[in-house]
Structure 1
Amino acid sequence: MIRRYGRAAQPGRRYVARPGVYAVLERNGRVLLTWQDAPHREFQLPGGGIDPGEHPVAALHREIYEETGWHVGPALRLGAFRRFAYMPEYDLWAEKICTIYRARPVMRMGPPTEPGHKAVWLRPEAAAERLSNSGDRAFLRQALGLG
């Protein structure tokens, strides 16, 4: 069973399974997050949904590049969690199955290509405090030994 973070599923509401991949990205004592302007203004671990037929690691590399403008080295799978959320950009209620990896940013290719996203480097504690969801915070703290 995959641990749930955040609110429980609402009884009687239908949720669509949405697998996604996200990464804890650390380099030189800083953590790379993505700032998203819409639909909610928030800090997130870089990552996102896996397209149909796409390998999860390929999706991870694609999403990190789109949201931060960085290429990363090999990714190590840390684990997974799930959360229930409304996704206004798709007008659906989702059970997000979030697989978390750790990788090292190796080369900045340019600015993020996904509109409304900005790459932000923060110290680990500040990154953990600013992440918008408790699952992201838990995995970042575990990966970086923040307790």
Structure 2
Amino acid sequence: MITFGKMEPEINYTWRPGVYGIILKENENLVALIETDDGRYFLPGGGMEGSESHVECLVREGIEEMGKLLEIGEWIVKAQRYFYSEKDGTYYLVEGHFYFARIAGNTGEPLEADHNLKWIEAGEAVKRLFHEHQSWAVQKALTMMENNG
């Protein structure tokens, strides 16, 4: 598995598995991203809670971040990233599981008011994503689409 970021010596990292959906508008070459109020961009998804399955996690995150019901599709890739979260004051080793996903319906307004769904051109999305492992996963997804196209 590929790992991004640098492990700092003598730092205790909190392992945080997460699930992320790569949602493409294929004919328009657009990727769904979540923009937070601080101007950062992330893939829809997030950390797993308790004994959640990958499907349960992505469905919950879709409701929270987008107000959308997500359907999980084909698995794409897994990657890790070391980083420090200023928001949490915690050092994390995030393990991302990335899947193709699609929006299957609306559930109402997003539960997280500071999260906004944006459709961004694929190349630009890769550049804007805050986490390197998410950018890499989008590139892998686009390559898979090209190879299957």
TM-score range, shorter chain: 0.7 to 0.9
Superposed structure 1 runs of 4+ greater than 6 Å apart? none
Report if the CA contact (8 A) 2:64-2:112 is conserved: yes
Where structure 2 has 5 or more consecutive residues not aligned to the other structure, the ranges are none
Superposed counterparts of 1:1-147, under 5 Å: 2-5=1-4, 7-27=5-25, 28-29=27-28, 30-38=30-38, 41-145=39-143
Greater Cα shift, 79-88 or 11-20: 79-88
For normalisation by structure 2, the TM-score amounts to 0.86
State the shift of 1:127 in Å: 1.5
How far does the alpha carbon of each residue in 1:98-118 deviate from its partner, in whole angstroms, 9 at most, with x for none? 111111123233332113111
For normalisation by structure 1, the TM-score amounts to 0.87
In angstroms, what is the RMSD of aligned CA positions?
1.9
Q: How far apart, CA to CA, are the structure 1 residues paired with 2:16 and 2:34? A: 20
Q: Percent identity?
A: 27
Residue 86 of structure 1 aligns to which amino acid in structure 2?
A: Y
Where structure 1 has 5 or more consecutive residues not aligned to the other structure, the ranges are none
Higher relative helix content: 2
